[in-house]
Structure formats: C-alpha cells, structure tokens
C-alpha cells in the first residue's frame, strides 16, 4: 500500500511537471508546429502520469534528486547507522526496533486509509462519467430519426470514400442537439441537428466527423478521462483534459482543410459558425466528439483555419527534435519506484559526500600510525572518483608504485612527506597482515588528523562524544589499559553497541568472559553475540556448552540461537532430538534452520 500511494503521488507530480512544461512552451510552438502534433504530444504527458518506469536511460532524474533529499532527512531522524569495520557488524538494540515497529503500524494504517479514499473517489468519478455518457446516448437515441434522403446519404457516402472508410456510418437527425456529433464505438453514427444544411455544409460536417472516427478520437479522449479519474486529487489534471479537447478539434479541422483551397476554407469556416447555435443542455465535450461547442474555441478554430499553412520540411525536422526533447524530459523527470538503487537507505552517515552507493563495494577504515589518524577508502566507484582534489605517488618497499588520491579536505597533505610515509607504512602493513583486506590498488584519503601522544586520551574523549567512531576506534588501541576498561564500561552502560563492537578487539579473554556473563544477566543479546564472536571457536564452544542448557530451560530463543552457531553438527542434532522430545516447536525450528 505505501509503495502504491508513493508511486501514485510521484506519478502525479512528475506528470504535472511535464504538463506545465509543455503548457509553458505552448506559446512558442503554437503557431509553428502542426496541430496534429500538438494533439498527440500530450500522449507523452499522459504516459508520464501513468507509467512508473523510473528512467529509460541511466541518468539521475529530478525525482531521484528530490527523493534523496527527503530520504537523508529521514535517515538522520531515525538515526540508522550501518558501519562495516573489519569483520564486525554493529547492530541496533531490540527496544529501538520495537519503537520503530509501532510507528510503522500507524504509518501503514494511514496509507491504507489514503488508498481506500483514493480508490473510492476514482471509481465513483469514473462510474459517473460512464453513466452520464450512457444516459446521454440513450436519450439522444430515443429522439433521433434516421435520415433517409438519398441525396444526403450520398454525400455521406462520398465522404466515406474520401476518408477510405469501408463500413458505412449511420446518419440521424435530432431536434435536441445543437451541433452535429458522432457517437458509438462499435456502431458509429453521426447525428445532425435539424438545421437545414446546404449540401456543401453537410459535406464538411461529414468530413470532420469521419476524421474523428477514423482517428479513434473517442478512445483517446476516454483514455484521458481514465487518467483524470486516477489523478482526481490533482487540480492540474483537469487542465490536461481541457487542452486535449481543444487540440482534438483543432487537429481535426487541420486534417479537413489540408486539401482545401482558400475559397473552400472560407466555406468551412462559415459552416462552423452556422453550426454554433444556442447551447443545448446536452453538451458533453469530454466524452463525445462534436462539431462545434463553445464560442471561444470557435474563434480559435476560425483563426487556425485561415492561418493554415502546410508545414515546411524544416519545420517537420524541428518538430522531430522537439519531440525527442520532450521524451528526454519525460525521462529526466523520472518517478519514484521502490527498490530504487540510487536512493538506498544504507547511506553511510559519517560521510558528508553525496551519492554514496552500496556500502558493500566501498571499503573504508581508519588507521592510526606515527601519530597520524588516517581515514582511507579504496575500491570506490567512478562517480566518487571525480571529486579528487589532488594526488601523490609513493613507492612501496617492493618497489611498486601507487597513486594516492586526496579529496578537497585533505589535499594539503598531498605534499606532506611525513603523512605520505605514514600512509605508505599503513598500506604495507595491511598488505603483509593478511587480515582479509582486499588488495588495495587506489586508496583515497578522506581525513588526516595529527594526534600527539599526550593528546591521545583527549582525542578519544572527543571522538566518543562527537560520535566519531572511526577516529575513536583507530586511536583507542593506544590508550592505557585502565582508560580502555573505563570505555568498555561506558559503551556497555550507554548501550553504544557500535562503539563497543569496535573496541572489544583490544579486550583480553577474562574481560570478554566477564562481559559475556554480564550480557546474559542483562538479557543483552546484541552484546552477547558481538562478544562471543571475539573468542576463539574453541573458547566460544566451551562457554556456550555451559550456558545453552540454561537458555533452553528459560525459553530464551535469541540467546539459544546465537549460541547454537558455535556447536558442532553432532551437538546440534542432539539438541534437535531433545527439542522434538520436549515438543518445543520453536526450538526445533531454530535448530533445523541452523543445520
């Protein structure tokens, strides 16, 4: 539901943008491009209102730009952080998840309500239109009399021949209508008013109506009506309807007069005026095709008739280019689509850059070496490579050369020999260490901080306060043991699992075990899991074996499932049988998932 409403609103917005753009440009193209083009170009707008294809080409659309803004605002308020550092992933605590869930429920309810409201209105509107039209047609039918004069039918037959219509169209006259109309999808019929038309007049009327029929203008108009029903809440959509109605008549006139001479054009204009009479109560320009309806429109049409010029080849070419331009706008405006890759919710909060995608492909870490805190990233994608401010070349100990890239914030260090040496040594250490770092080929330096050995504890304090997890964890290892212990406690008590997870690699075994016991007592699964991961598999197994019985007895699924990962297959199977015997279905399921 949410996705649907979001997509609908986005479609409405995008469509309106394109609609307004085209309307704005109308004053330019009104007298240059053919009326026919001006009629069909609105199809592109109609599809922009209807079709949720995000973009045809790989460009950043207006919608993406707008959505990214609102999404990052959302991110900041939710406080969602996902940081990958080495192999440890920090997780949020359960109570925050619960809070999120209850707000999700109210959100879902609101969206469902909106969806319900939308569809009720849309359906009612559509039904009304259909019923109104049916009613109109029915009443007209009742009062319509067949035209039987052979002379008139012959004129109609001639027009049908000119327009190459094989099946003859029925002809009636009716005293209730003001101007000739055409109705019916499957059995088309032209209905004249009871005016006494001259033969020539009838000829033009028939031509006009038959062209409407041939081009399936009725279907086009109904299509637009459906879109209007879908976007009933958007005031601009009614503009679209009006524009298209106007363009419909103008383009039909154009088609009729395209093969007429001046004298005949004048005659056609005369017919228009004759056909414009007292407005009847039965006008319905949206859903049926008429000959002449409002005075204003007549003026426009008369003007267009006399000003008609066959379009030169140059104009035709310009038209094509313009159409392509409109299509590009269609694409550039874009639309919201769920699972849009460019707007990903896992934007790394600590980076101030835009357009960071896929934290998986992007590796970044902080290193502290020679009193320099170096924040480095590598394996970036093409987009981010463009914001390079400076670069430097270093020679590693194996004589290979490597280019280091600096951003705006760090470009001053590109010339600093000491910094470059520190970077070089860090890279060499990483390569030798086999800690699972992928081969670094193109490192990017985000940040350099000089932290003197006296300033270390102040720096750690500052980064803890300012939530600078990278700086904090990089320098932490240089603290004295007592201060470290203080921070373990602080991070645990303040529930900062992300900080905790980064620094526990410095803990000794006994500390870890004591914290594990604490985590079990405090029912803190996240901390438990993270701590357990720090032990060697043998140590972990020993500990788990002792505790798992307790978890089983107390029905502690979370702890049980975390512990289960450290058991052997044989032990897991034993527990599976146990769960089966005790008929503890939930446990059975958890264990079987882990086998």
Identify whether the C-beta of residue 33 lies closer than 8 Å to the C-beta of residue 250: no
Q: What is the C-alpha separation between 299 and 250, in angstroms, rounded?
A: 11
376, β-bridge pairs: 365, 445
Q: Is 168 in the site for other proteins (CB under 8 A)?
A: yes
Burial class of residue 527, CB neighbours in 10 A (0-12, 13-18, 19+): buried
**Distance (Å, whole) CA 437 – CA 435:** 6
Does 146 bind other proteins (CB under 8 A)? Our answer is yes
Q: Is 186 in the site for other proteins (CB under 8 A)?
A: no
Torsion of CA 59, 63, 69, 70, to 10 degrees: -150
Out of 91, 170, 200, 409, the only residue in the binding site for other proteins (CB under 8 A) is: 170
Q: Cβ 196 to other proteins, closest distance in Å?
A: 18
Q: Counting contacts by CB under 8 A, is residue 171 touching other proteins?
A: yes
**Residue 195 beta carbon to other proteins: minimum distance, rounded to whole angstroms:** 20
Binding flag, residue 24, other proteins (CB under 8 A) = no
- Residue 557 has a CB neighbour count (10 Å cut-off) of 16
State residue 396 phi and psi, 5-degree precision. -80, 170
Distance, CA of 95 to CA of 323 (rounded, Å): 55
CA distances from 4 to 68, 118, 336 (A): 19, 11, 10
Nearer Cβ to other proteins (148/568): 148
Cα(591)–Cα(577) distance, integer angstroms: 10
**Minimal distance, residue 143 CB to other proteins, in Å:** 16
Binding segment toward other proteins, per CB under 8 A, in 27-35, 107-115, 157-165, 572-580:
157-165
Strand 145-146 to 170-174 pairing: antiparallel
Q: What is the smallest separation between the CB atom of 274 and other proteins, expressed in angstroms?
A: 24
Q: 3 vs 158, which CB is nearer to other proteins?
A: 158
User: Least CB distance from residue 148 to other proteins, whole Å?
Assistant: 3
In the complex, what is the shortest distance from the CB of residue 305 to other proteins, in angstroms, rounded to a whole number?
A: 28
156 makes contact with other proteins (CB under 8 A): yes
Nearer to other proteins, 172 or 557 (CB): 172
**Residue 458 near other proteins by CB under 8 A:** no
Find the shortest distance in angstroms from Cβ 210 to other proteins. 11
Question: Which is nearer to other proteins, 148 or 400 (by Cβ)?
Answer: 148
Choice from 157, 162, 239, 315 touching other proteins (CB under 8 A): 157
- Pick between residue 156 and residue 451 the one whose CB is nearest to other proteins: 156
Determine which residue in the list 95, 148, 196, 400 makes contact with other proteins, applying CB under 8 A.
148
- Residue 286 within binding range of other proteins, rule CB under 8 A: no
User: How, if at all, do strands 401-406 and 444-450 pair?
Assistant: parallel
Residue choice 153, 298, 520, 558 for contact with other proteins (CB under 8 A): 153
Stretch that binds other proteins, among 164-172, 177-185, 418-426, 537-545 (CB under 8 A): 164-172
**Of 68, 160, 243, 468, the one binding other proteins by CB under 8 A:** 160
Q: Tell me how far, at minimum, the Cβ of 171 lies from other proteins, in Å.
A: 7
Would you count residue 142 as binding other proteins (CB under 8 A)? no
150 binds other proteins (CB under 8 A): yes
**Distance between CA atoms of 291 and 36, rounded to whole angstroms?**
17
Q: Name the strand (E) or helix (H) holding 248.
A: helix 237-257
Give the 3-state secondary structure of 411-471. HHHHHCHHHHHHHHHHHHHHHHHCCCCCCCCCCEEEEEEECCHHHHHHHHHHHHHCCCHHH
Q: Which is nearer to other proteins, 157 or 363 (CB)?
A: 157
Q: In angstroms, rounded to a whole number, what is the distance separating the alpha carbons of residues 214 and 547?
A: 82
Applying CB under 8 A, the site for other proteins has a residue count of: 15
Bridge partners (DSSP) of residue 369 are 372
Q: Which residues are at the interface with other proteins (CB under 8 A)?
A: 146, 148-151, 153-154, 156-158, 160-161, 168, 170-171
């Amino acid at each position: 539901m949410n996705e649907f409403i979001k997509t609908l609103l986005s479609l409405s917005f995008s469509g309106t943008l394109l609609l307004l753009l085209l309307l704005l440009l109308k004053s330019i193209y009104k007298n240059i491009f053919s009326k026919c083009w001006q009629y069909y170009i609105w199809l592109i707008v109609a599809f922009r209102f209807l079709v949720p294809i995000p973009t045809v080409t790989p460009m950043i659309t207006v919608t993406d730009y707008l959505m990214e803004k609102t999404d990052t605002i959302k991110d900041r308020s939710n406080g969602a952080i996902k940081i990958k550092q080495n192999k440890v992933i920090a997780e949020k605590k359960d109570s925050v998840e619960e809070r999120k869930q209850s707000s999700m429920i109210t959100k879902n309810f609101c969206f469902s309500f909106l969806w319900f409201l939308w569809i009720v209105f849309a359906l009612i509107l559509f039904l009304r239109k259909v019923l109104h039209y049916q009613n109109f047609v029915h009443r007209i039918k009742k009062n319509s009399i067949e035209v039987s004069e052979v002379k008139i039918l012959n004129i109609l037959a001639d027009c049908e021949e000119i327009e190459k219509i094989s099946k003859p169209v029925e002809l009636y006259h009716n005293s209730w209508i003001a101007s000739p109309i055409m109705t019916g999808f499957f059995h088309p019929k032209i209905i004249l008013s009871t005016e006494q038309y001259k033969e020539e007049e009838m000829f033009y009327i028939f031509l006009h109506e038959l062209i409407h029929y041939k081009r399936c203008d009725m279907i086009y108009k109904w299509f637009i009506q459906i879109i209007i029903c879908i976007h009933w809440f958007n005031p601009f959509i009614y503009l679209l309807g009006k524009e298209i109605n106007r363009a419909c008549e103008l383009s039909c006139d154009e088609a009729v007069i395209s093969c007429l001479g001046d004298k005949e054009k004048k005659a056609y204009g005369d017919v228009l005026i004759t056909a414009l009479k007292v407005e009847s109560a039965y006008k319905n320009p949206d859903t049926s095709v008429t000959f002449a309806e409002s005075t204003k429109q007549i003026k426009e049409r008369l003007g267009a008739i006399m000003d008609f010029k066959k379009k030169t080849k140059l104009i035709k070419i310009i038209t094509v280019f313009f159409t392509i331009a409109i299509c590009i706008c269609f694409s550039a405006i874009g639309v919201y689509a769920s699972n849009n890759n460019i707007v990903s919710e896992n934007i790394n909060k600590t980076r101030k850059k835009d357009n960071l995608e896929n934290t998986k492909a992007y590796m970044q870490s902080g290193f502290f070496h020679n009193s320099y805190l170096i924040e480095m990233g590598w394996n970036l994608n093409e987009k981010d490579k463009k914001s390079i401010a400076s670069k430097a070349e270093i020679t590693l100990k194996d004589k290979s050369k490597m280019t280091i890239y600096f951003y705006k914030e760090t470009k001053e260090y590109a010339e600093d020999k000491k910094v470059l040496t520190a970077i070089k040594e860090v890279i060499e250490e990483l390569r030798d260490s086999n800690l699972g770092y992928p081969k670094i080929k193109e490192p990017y330096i985000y940040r350099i901080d000089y932290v003197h050995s006296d300033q270390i504890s102040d720096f750690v304090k500052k980064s803890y306060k300012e939530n600078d997890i990278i700086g904090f964890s990089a320098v932490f290892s240089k603290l004295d043991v007592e201060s470290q212990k203080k921070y373990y406690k602080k991070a645990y008590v303040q529930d900062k699992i992300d900080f905790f997870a980064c620094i526990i690699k410095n803990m000794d075994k006994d500390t870890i075990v004591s914290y594990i016991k604490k985590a079990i007592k405090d029912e803190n699964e996240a901390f438990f899991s993270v701590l357990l991961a720090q032990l060697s598999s043998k140590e972990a197994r020993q500990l788990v074996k002792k505790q798992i019985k307790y978890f089983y007895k107390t029905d502690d699924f979370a702890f049980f499932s975390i512990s289960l990962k450290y058991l052997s297959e044989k032990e897991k199977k034993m527990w599976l049988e146990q769960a089966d015997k005790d008929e503890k279905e939930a446990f059975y399921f958890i264990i079987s998932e882990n086998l």
